[in-house]
Amino acid sequence: MRALALALALSLPAVAAAQTPDAAEVVAAERAFAADYPGLGMGASFRKWAEPGAIMIAGGRAQTVEQVFPPEAPPDPQEPLLEWWPNFAGISRSGDLGFTTGGVSVNGERAGHYFTVWRRQPDGSWKWVYDGGAGASAADVPGRDSEPELLPLGPEFVMVWSPRDGSNLSTIAMRDVREMEAQLARAVARDQVEAHLAVLADRGRVYVAPLAPAVGPAAAASSLKAWPETFEVGPMEGGGASEAGDLVWTYSPALWSHEEQPRTGHFVRLWQRQDAGWKLVLVQLIFGPPPPPLLVAPPPPGS
């Protein structure tokens, strides 16, 4: 009965919000972040625009921005010139969580795609909580002067019944998506193409390096074949949900085989609760460093 009551509560449309959240705020924050980079450098600009403890996937593991860019580290005069711009963006119903993703150039050459998750701060400003990149080609995406495609807001819900454990929409969303992630992990161990297509949103994006981003199930069906047939995916390591419980980001470790050699990395995903349930809006695979070669002891002298 509790589960039924909760399901009914989450399916009731809420009264329209007084003000519709606008993803333009998130886009503006991303562009300001990118504009700061040339003057401040990589470490200072990334720390300036990040929440304390914001997550990056670097060196094959999740690390905080302070671990990747220690405040005491001197600027690197040889660091490359990075430029990036949003091509796709969205915001939660509650206006507290948003994202952008788009092309990246390195020293003037287009080199991949970034993905940033942003959270509104108590003072109304925006700071990123996750930043990462994937090697999907940016050769043909619109440039810096273009306006990004915006993810439509999902349906709005209210909770008219309060669980005894005090859960709110955000914690309930994290539980739902944790179960979705567990189901997806079991499915990609059998057939990752079928597994991803089963949960991909109509305009969901899949970043498969070195291909261009695949938008929607039809394009993704082809691009996903460039990944291995199966993955072993570990439990969800982290992420976060909007206050409205409609937008959730996650990251999970992954293991696969390439040319009969083990490889490791992380899946980073963005989920949106839609009319048809939870759907995958974006997925990227971040490669970890190759494992060290097996050391073979030389034969003993005289053998």
pLDDT in tens, 66-98: 999 999 988 888 899 999 999 999 999 999 999
State whether the Cα torsion 37-38-42-48 is positive or negative: negative
Predicted confidence at residue 215, as pLDDT, reads: 97
- Please give the pLDDT value at position 259: 80
Interior angle at CA 29, CA 27 and CA 32, nearest 5: 110
Predicted local distance difference test score (pLDDT) of residue 299: 61
Terminus-to-terminus CA distance in the chain, angstroms? 75
Q: Kindly report the backbone phi and psi dihedral angles of residue 187, in degrees, each rounded to the nearest multiple of 5, phi listed first.
A: -75, -40
Please state which architecture CATH assigns to domain 169-287. Answer: Roll (3.10)
| pLDDT at 76 (0 to 100) | 87
- CATH architecture assignment, domain 24-150: Roll (3.10)
Q: Do 85 and 268 touch, CB atoms closer than 8 A?
A: no
Q: Find all residues with CB under 8 Å of 100, minimum gap 6, and list them.
A: 26, 27, 30, 86, 88, 89, 115, 116, 118, 148
Residue length of the chain: 303
Q: Which pLDDT does position 6 carry in this prediction?
A: 42
Q: Where are the domains of the chain?
A: 24-150, 169-287
The stretches of the chain forming alpha helices (DSSP H) are 2-10, 24-40, 42-48, 65-68, 169-188, 192-199, 217-223
* pLDDT at residue number 245: 96
pLDDT at position 284: 97
Name the phi and psi angles at 44, rounded to 5: -65, -40
Give the model's pLDDT for residue 19. 74
Residue 80, SS3?
coil
Which residues in the chain land under pLDDT 70?
A: 1-18, 158-166, 291-303
Q: What is the per-residue pLDDT for 283?
A: 98
Domains 24-150 and 169-287 share a fold: yes
